[in-house]
Amino acid sequence: MLSMNRRTLLGGLAAGTTSLWPQSRVFAQATPSRITVTSYGGIFEGVVRDTFVADFTKRTGVAADIQLGNPSQWMSQVEANPDKPPIDVVISSIDLVIEVGKKNLLEKPTVEKVPNLADVPQYFVDMCQGWGVCFDYGSGGIAYHKGRVKNPPKSLREFVDRTAKGEWRASLPTVAFQPSLQLLIWSLNDALGGTLDNITPVIDAVKQMKPNTVFWSSVTDFLNHLQSGEADIGLYYDGRVWAAYDSGMTFLDFINPSEGAVMTPIAAVKPTNAPPIAWEYINSMLAPGPQTEFGNRMNFGMTNKNVQYSEKVKGRITPWEKTRLPPVDRMAPHVSLWVERWNKEIGA
Amino acid sequence: MAFSPWLSAPAALFLIAFFVLPLTDNALRSVASQAAAGANYLKLLTDPYYLWVIGVTIALSAAVTLASLVLGYPIAYFLVRKAGRWSSLIIFLTVAPLLTSIIMRTFGWRVLFARRGLLNVLLLDAGWIERPLALLNSPVSVVVGLVHVLVPFMVLSIASVLQGINPRLGESARILGAGRMRTFWLVTFPLSLDGIATGSILVFMLANGSFVTLLLLGGGSLQTLPLLIYQQFTTTRDFAFGAAMSNVLLVLALLCLLLQLVLIRRRGVKT
Amino acid sequence: MIRRLLPRKVRAESCAPDAALLLYVVLFFAFMLLPIIIVVVVAFSATEYITFPIQGVSLRWFRRIYEYRPFFNSLRVTLEIAFLSALFGALLGVPAALALTRWKHPIASLAMTFLLSPLSMPFIVLGFALLFFLSAVGFGASFLSLLIAHTVVSLPYVVRTVAGVYRGLSPNLEESALVLGASKWQAFRYVTLPMIRPGIFAGCLFAILLSVDNLPISFFFGSPATSTLPVVMLSYLENSFDPSIAAVSTVQLVFALTFLLVIERFYGLKGMAPAS
């Protein structure tokens, strides 16, 4: 009785129910008339629709429905339905790509399947360990209020020291915001001489900064803080700074610290059992035309080497050579300990 | 009239199928992926830090429940006994906080509580305080934020029971010479205990499982189990530890709930 | 009526507490409404970013809702799920509450605890567990899955509010009906049901309100066809920091108030009250 494991349990239930319920998706590998792709919401979605989806549909005649949300939700759905993934192309941060890829739930792109891959530096495939390819990237550095911070710091080390002294109030991401592992813990620790095994440098630094610090828990929180005077400076992403700048928050500016901003790429991946037409969508995501428009409208760095940014955007893009790539794969085993230590000693 | 206990079978079966089985499945999955699952529970129940977190979780839920009861009871009383033709308006106003999305509601509180927010500006101008109060990112704002959304559950639960109490009982007591407060404490209040129980259970359980308000208004000043569970899902992706924490949370909540229900029963079934 | 029978002293004494109560009620609702008023004001902001106090008034963010299709499409899904989950919650929950309330067996408390237990499970855990479970049994990320997940949450509200009301009622009324020759069904239909109406009403209202704002469960079952409004709003905020979110909240508020008004018109919120 008790030796019945969850596979047999679920298998039994599945056998009982699948016969009663029609399958919502067809297994056949024949080209479907529409596919499902993913996007963040807001402006991002509008631009995805106008660039990648438009190019894909024009070339193939296949429609693409956009599913909004975030990568951990999409990847969970793929993991829960490995045989018939509900999504055909997922965009995701690279730590999740590697984690899910290792379970063989993703298919590796090649130049034969995705011709435009030839124009993307190998760097953007290697960072996914081959399980996908990055189509754009942002950089995590220092953002500040020009009116209130006249003499901004040049490096992360300077930022930490002057925050600890109380020269301004800083806004840092809370640890419940997933990217803060890279943007805050890894980045400051690395800049202050720590290692993956030893995060004492960043813990001590944040302890010193804490009296002059507020924490943000969603990306719009940070803008709220700077706008309302709750904070004057903080760790944030370049693309988001420029988007806010263009919407009227012209008091913002961004600095790539001398240690190097944190490379924050977005990868495109195809789940193993998604139909081959999904490669065509990824090919559109890597094509120079759609990428140029995407980069110019979103202020993100793009990965196709033939992209020509507009004059306005060119100066805003942080070159990827001047960023630091967090070792997401090697970080993974340490993360639980990091967060536990953070909770016990910092608690934010 | 006694309804057959079997009438509860469909609901029980539904929850067994779509609540118990999924959670068991989830727990089994986490055990399979980590041989040392026992270590997780051991850590949760022995490490002083996690015991502290468990204590904070219960204390917060209890504080929110008590505050909702104290603030909500007079409103329920007013709604049923005094509001008359305004009662619909009172109901509208009571549930209004639940009608806006949590994201925007929190934004409203931020505007009010911020260092240079409305409340601080008003208090400074009035000369009541000398420097801005640190309201945001403190336990105060968490309790206020939670009470704001949970107090409607208390008000409506109490009101729906008060509704069924014949006001003449109170009036008889007064004709017989009992004072107004005495009448309330001896007649009305005891009769409304069922509503208080319902409201308290709902508020306690909801507060016990909430993390969004804590995340957005707490700024790390309070750490509770649901918040740490959320972290396991978003940041560390350590689902085994997350599952262990949710099981501990569930057992805690059920123990509190069972205790409350037994206390209600102890009073005996009224006739 | 009876008031007039009260001694004069008692009548005079009752005025001061009434005034105090009224003052308290006004303060209480100021507290309840303040954050919401801020949101509604921000919805009429003219700037492209969120700021308070607002600089300039405009309706542009309401137009944006209309133009940004996901807002509109998800609103329909959200409402369908909310009403259907409340309905199924009531169909399962009302009989269970009636059966367990007067059952004197010790198991009754345990069974009641069990039926209420979903309330204390953080929604994110429930959503995650249900996603894997429902996918394994073949439902996937569909409307049906979303509905099942929301019903798991709505059921306990109905159970608890109905039980709370039913416990307070005297069994004598139903007994009298039976003695007077009513069938069990008639006694239920004409005596019990009208009396427990406030409980059903409150429970369903809770269920609907929570379903509409439920993010942690809905987000696991999102698909292009089944994304709910909170999921769309959150993902909108990821990249756009403009007042359209406040505008959506305002529209949501207007919808909800209209819904309550309609109930009031045809059913009477005082349907909270037992039919006399």
Q: Domain for residue A14, yes or no? A: no
Least Cα separation, residue C171 to chain B (angstroms): 6
The helix (run of H) or strand (run of E) holding residue A239 is: helix A238-246
Of A320, A123, A72, nearest to B234 (Cα)? A72
Lowest mean pLDDT among A225-239, B62-76, C227-241: C227-241
CB contact under 8 A, C235 and A42: yes
pLDDT-derived band at B32, boundaries 50, 70, 90 = low
Give mean pLDDT, residues C83-109: 90
More confident residue, C216 or A276: A276
Q: How many domains does chain A have?
A: 2
Within an 8 Å CB–CB cutoff, is residue C69 touching chain A? Answer: no
CB contact under 8 A, B22 and C98: no
Q: Domain for residue C18, yes or no? A: no
Give the number of other Cβ atoms within 10 Å of residue C5's Cβ: 10
pLDDT of residue A140: 96
Least Cα separation, residue C127 to chain A (angstroms): 10
d(C-alpha C146, C-alpha C158), whole Å: 19
More confident residue, A284 or B167: A284
Touching subunits for chain C (3+ Cβ pairs under 8 A): A, B
Of A59, A183, A79, nearest to B239 (Cα)? A79
Place of tokens 């019903």: C151
Give mean pLDDT, residues A54-74: 93
pLDDT-derived band at C149, boundaries 50, 70, 90 = very high
Residues A40, A161, single domain; the answer is no
Q: Domain for residue C61, yes or no? A: no
Which tokens hold the place of B196? 């208080």
Q: Is B101 left (phi over 0), alpha (psi -120 to 50) or beta?
A: beta
Q: Is the ipTM of this complex over 0.95?
A: no
C25, closest residue in chain B (CA to CA):
B75
* Chain B CB contacts of C251 below 8 Å: none
CB contact under 8 A, B201 and C10: no
Dihedral angle over CA of B67, B72, B77, B79, nearest 10:
170
**Minimum-distance CB partner of A80 among C135, C219, C224:** C135
pLDDT in tens, B228-268: 988 888 888 887 888 888 888 888 888 888 887 777 766 54
pLDDT of residue B12: 94
CB contact under 8 A, A24 and C140: yes
Q: SS3 breakdown of chain C: % helix, strand, coil, rounded to 5?
A: 75, 0, 20
Q: How many CA atoms lie within 13 A of A146 on its CB side?
A: 9
Residues A41, A151, single domain; the answer is no
Residue A319 has what DSSP assignment? P
Q: Domain for residue A331, yes or no? A: yes
CB contact under 8 A, B91 and C269: yes
pLDDT surpassing 60 at residue A268: yes
Structural contact between residues A36 and C224, judged by C-beta atoms closer than 8 angstroms:
yes
pLDDT surpassing 70 at residue B1: no
SS3 A66: strand
d(C-alpha B44, C-alpha B228), whole Å: 12
Q: Output the domain CATH number for residue A121.
A: 3.40.190.10
pLDDT of residue B257: 81
CB contact under 8 A, A17 and C132: no
Give mean pLDDT, residues A262-291: 96
* Contacts of residue C140, Cβ cutoff 8 Å, sequence gap at least 6: A24, A25, A81, A84, A86, C134
Q: Is A85 left (phi over 0), alpha (psi -120 to 50) or beta?
A: beta
d(C-alpha B180, C-alpha C272), whole Å: 26
Of A250, A222, A285, nearest to A55 (Cα)? A285
Burial call A25-52: b when 16+ CB within 10 Å, e when fewer: eeeeeeebeebbbbbbbbbbbbbbbebb
Touching subunits for chain B (3+ Cβ pairs under 8 A): A, C
Domain that holds residue C74: 69-272
pLDDT in tens, C60-87: 999 888 888 888 888 889 999 999 999 9
pLDDT of residue C128: 85
d(C-alpha B200, C-alpha B64), whole Å: 9
Burial class (CB in 10 A: 0-12, 13-18, 19+), B20: middle
Within an 8 Å CB–CB cutoff, is residue A178 touching chain B? Answer: yes
pLDDT of residue C14: 53
Residues A247, A217, single domain; the answer is yes
pLDDT in tens, B129-156: 888 787 878 899 999 999 999 999 899 8
pLDDT in tens, A88-131: 999 999 999 999 999 999 999 999 999 999 999 999 999 999 99
The residue length of chain A stands at 348
A5, closest residue in chain B (CA to CA):
B28
State percent of chain C over pLDDT 90: 22
Within an 8 Å CB–CB cutoff, is residue A6 touching chain B? Answer: yes
pLDDT in tens, B163-214: 877 777 777 777 777 777 777 787 788 888 888 988 998 899 888 888 888 8
pTM of the model: 0.84
B237, closest residue in chain A (CA to CA):
A336
Residue A31 has what DSSP assignment? P
Domain that holds residue A148: 139-262+327-345
d(C-alpha B52, C-alpha B46), whole Å: 10
pLDDT-derived band at C266, boundaries 50, 70, 90 = low
pLDDT surpassing 60 at residue A9: no
**Minimum-distance CB partner of C222 among A24, A68, A244:** A68
Q: How many domains does chain C have?
A: 1
Topology classification of domain B33-83+96-265: MetI-like fold (1.10.3720)
CB contact under 8 A, B161 and C164: yes
Q: Domain for residue C125, yes or no? A: yes
Burial class (CB in 10 A: 0-12, 13-18, 19+), C141: buried
pLDDT-derived band at A277, boundaries 50, 70, 90 = very high
Averaged pLDDT score across all residues of chain A: 89
**Minimum-distance CB partner of B100 among C2, C195, C249:** C249
Q: Output the domain CATH number for residue C99.
A: 1.10.3720.10
Lowest mean pLDDT among B10-24, B163-177, C205-219: B163-177
In chain C, the DSSP E strands lie at none
C241, closest residue in chain A (CA to CA):
A220
Structural contact between residues A338 and A181, judged by C-beta atoms closer than 8 angstroms:
yes
* Contacts of residue B178, Cβ cutoff 8 Å, sequence gap at least 6: B186, B187
Rg, Å, chain A Cα set: 22
pLDDT of residue C113: 85
Residues A166, A185, single domain; the answer is yes
The helix (run of H) or strand (run of E) holding residue A188 is: helix A187-191
Lowest mean pLDDT among A58-62, B48-52, B242-246, C34-38: B242-246
* Chain C CB contacts of A45 below 8 Å: 70, 235, 239
pLDDT of residue C15: 60
**Minimum-distance CB partner of A6 among B25, B49, B110:** B25
pLDDT of residue C95: 94
B211, closest residue in chain A (CA to CA):
A176
B79, closest residue in chain C (CA to CA):
C25
Lowest mean pLDDT among A306-315, C29-38, C198-207: C198-207
CB contact under 8 A, A215 and B223: no
pLDDT-derived band at A294, boundaries 50, 70, 90 = very high
* Contacts of residue A284, Cβ cutoff 8 Å, sequence gap at least 6: A52, A53, A55, A56, A59, A290
pLDDT-derived band at A19, boundaries 50, 70, 90 = very low
d(C-alpha B228, C-alpha C263), whole Å: 40
* Chain B CB contacts of C260 below 8 Å: 88, 91-92, 95
d(C-alpha C215, C-alpha C231), whole Å: 6
pLDDT of residue A28: 43
Give mean pLDDT, residues A154-177: 94
Packing angle of the helix pair B102-113, C15-43 (nearest 10 deg): 110
Q: What is the full DSSP assignment across C34-84?
A: HHHHHHHHHHTB-SSS--SS-SSB-SHHHHHHHHSHHHHHHHHHHHHHHHH
d(C-alpha C274, C-alpha A42), whole Å: 47
pLDDT of residue C41: 92
pLDDT in tens, A191-233: 999 999 999 999 999 999 999 999 988 888 899 889 888 899 9
d(C-alpha C132, C-alpha A129), whole Å: 27
* Contacts of residue A240, Cβ cutoff 8 Å, sequence gap at least 6: A138, A219, A223, C239
A228, closest residue in chain B (CA to CA):
B116
pLDDT-derived band at A14, boundaries 50, 70, 90 = very low
Q: Domain for residue A77, yes or no? A: yes
d(C-alpha C70, C-alpha C78), whole Å: 12
CB contact under 8 A, C38 and B111: yes
What value, to the nearest 5°, has the Cα angle with vertex C29 and ends C24 and C34? Answer: 130
Q: Domain for residue A1, yes or no? A: no
Lowest mean pLDDT among A56-70, A155-169, A301-315, B126-140: B126-140
Q: What are phi and psi of A230, to 5 degrees?
A: -65, -30
**Minimum-distance CB partner of B137 among A5, A176, A214:** A214
Give the number of other Cβ atoms within 10 Å of residue A59's Cβ: 13
SS3 B51: helix
